[in-house]
Structure 1
Amino acid sequence: MDDSTYINASLPDTSDRMLFAVPKKGRLYDQCLSLLTNIGIEFNRKPRHDIALVSNLPIALVFLPAADIATYVAKGNIDLGITGLDIIRESQTENDVAELMRLGFGKCRLQVQAPAAIKEVRDARDLVGKRIVTSFINLTKQRFAELEGVPVEEMTTQVRFVSGSVEAACGLGLADGIVDLVESGDTMRAAGLHAVDTVLDTESVLITNRHPRFPKLADTIRQRVAGILMARRYVLCQYNIARSGLELACAITPGRQAPTITSLEQEGWVAVSVMVEKKSLADTMDQLRDAGATDILVLQIANARV
């Protein structure tokens, strides 16, 4: 029985539903559930069930290991999915899936780590020809083949697979270095390791099959996600300013497209409404004040369409 037969047997009557895969556990699970709620997907997942029908859209959610989602999407068994960029690259499916957008959560780095106590190893090149342990076999081989300047088949570095507790390999004498995902780095430091190279900066990604069965619905989901991400990135800033200072104010707050400008009853004054990035908000407000703006207000954006 192939993968598509298994999925369809597990969930009867899905011919008119788009299959949307999300991680069933792990570092992306909670953030994916929050995103589904924010984009208006309503469902009830029964205990121990890995498939849930969405009640307000023709979608079936399929909860899969994050490591398998890219492969299912690439084969066409799943229409839409959320997984990590590292998984897409490791599964070598980047040519068979379409990346709709980066989601901004689940950010971490796939790094080469080595024992900090070994002073001779300060760069990944110092590990060429030695023993490397990882759960990212393909990406690791590609990186060390690049460092050696040879095809993967001719590399001398010994790359071995382990599925978990990769950081313990050096301490147990199984490896001279490891390649693993790092978020804060606390786990690696506790194991006496330090980073000597970054293979990949990764985050969660929304992907689809290159020949989706429900392109319009997939685009609807993409637009909803884009709206939520924009709402997280921007606030709506409103202020009043004399028309003589408008050019400078608009240079400070150009907005995503352009500010909305409305004449006030007070002659020579206008009201401006414009989107401003949250990360630069404090500086922007200070600059507006210095430019002569008054009544500067900031409103949160709950959702949007872009």
Structure 2
Amino acid sequence: MKLRLGLPKGSLQEATFQLFKQAGFNISVRSRSYFPAVNDPELEIVLMRAQEIPRYVYEGVLDAGISGLDWIMENEADVVEVADMVYAKNTPNPIRLVIAVADNSDIKSVSDLNGKRVATELVRVTQKYLKENGVEALIEYSYGATEVKVPHLVDAIADITETGSSLKANNLRIIATILESTTKLHANRSSWEDPWKREKLQSLAVLLQGALRARSKVGLKMNVPGAMLETILDVLPAMKQPTISQLVRSDWVAVEVILEEMQVRDLIPALKRAGAQDIIEYPLTKVIP
């Protein structure tokens, strides 16, 4: 039996392949191919645009797929959310669907969009948001280059952004956030009811989320004089409690912790000053709580 899995082709492809590799799945694809090879005989991978994946999952063409919440909502796809996976093309943060106008536009708020023209790839989501805010506007589908359409072709756009830098570069100003979207591993409801496929998806989710969790953490090992252990523990954070083991024929101990990578820069000098020696920092592949 195989699990047919849709993965995004395009801007999110490389980040997805890297995540799967970290989780233990090596995916290789020839140029122009939509059916990559993977080192798991129980997986059949199909590459397609992220915009289409939720629809094919909902209709049962795919057992499961990886796509953003924004596209699940746009396709109005009734699917099972298996796992939330916060990663994007450039950052580990959620992306946002925002409404933006020209810097010098008279439009200051969503209510000012009444009777205006708005371009977007997420037509249904944008229409629903504006309707909920009592706004009637002409929403048109954008086939690309959405940011350059303001103000010469449309009054505003609803577009995806990670950092907002591209909008600023095109002299655009955000007036509202429609939604925050993260990447979802989602499944067809019938496939989810199949015991084998559900177990396979749950195992896949554990590995992928473990790989994502590991990206923000590192391990630290060090040797500490027994007399200085309490001082070291006072400055040492950890996921739970440090692992401490006695060195052979010595009053020194080995201390090991897992912690946030962003803490390490300031922590290592502090540990050195507190008496720690032989400090080793190492990367992690997966963290499974």
Task: Give the TM-score normalised by the residue count of structure 1.
Answer: 0.79
CA distance in 1, matches of 2:76, 2:63: 18
Tell me the distance in 1 between the aligned counterparts of 2:31 and 2:222. 50
SS at match of 1:87: helix
Report the secondary structure of 1:215's partner residue.
Answer: helix
SS at match of 1:67: coil
Q: Distance in 2 between matches of 1:239 and 1:44?
A: 39
Displacement of 1:73 in angstroms is 2.0
Task: Return the match for 2:178 from 199, 202, 207.
Answer: 199
User: How far apart are the structure 1 equivalents of 2:37 and 2:206?
Assistant: 21
What do residues 144-181 of structure 1 show as CA deviations (whole Å, max 9, x unaligned)?
23333xxxxxx423322222222233232x32211111
1:12-91 matches, within 5 Å, as: 16-24=1-9, 26-42=10-26, 45-46=29-30, 48-52=32-36, 54-91=38-75
Flag the 1:252–1:159 CA change in 2: closer, same or farther, 3 A: farther
SS of alignment partner, residue 257 of structure 1:
coil
| Structure 1: distance between partners of 2:218 and 2:208 | 17
SS in structure 1 at match of 2:199: helix
Deviations 1:202-251 (A, max 9, x none): 34332233442412222222222123223322111112335565456445
Percent identity over the alignment is 26
Q: CA deviation at 1:88?
A: 1.9
1:216 matched to 2:199? The reply is: yes
Q: Deviations over 1:48-106 (max 9, x none)?
A: 4423454533111011211111122233332221112221232233x522141314233
On the 8 A contact 1:111/1:195 being kept in 2, the answer is: yes
Residue 121 of structure 2 is matched in structure 1 by 135
8 Å contact kept, 1:51–1:62 = yes
Query: What residue number does 2:132 align with?
Result: 146
3-state DSSP of counterpart to 1:121: coil
In the alignment, structure 1 residue 169 sits paired with structure 2 residue 154:
no
SS at match of 1:66: coil
Q: Is the 8 A contact 2:85 2:212 kept in 1?
A: no
Structure 1, unpaired ranges of 5+: 1-15, 149-154
Q: Name the SS of the counterpart of 1:156 in structure 2.
A: coil
Q: Distance in 1 between matches of 2:76 and 2:229?
A: 51
TM-score normalised by L of structure 2? 0.83
On the 8 A contact 2:82/2:202 being kept in 1, the answer is no
- Structure 2 regions of 5+ residues with no counterpart? none
Matched AA of 1:69: I
Describe the SS at the equivalent of 2:52: helix
- How many residues are paired up? 280
When the two chains are superposed, the root-mean-square deviation of aligned CA atoms in Å is 2.7
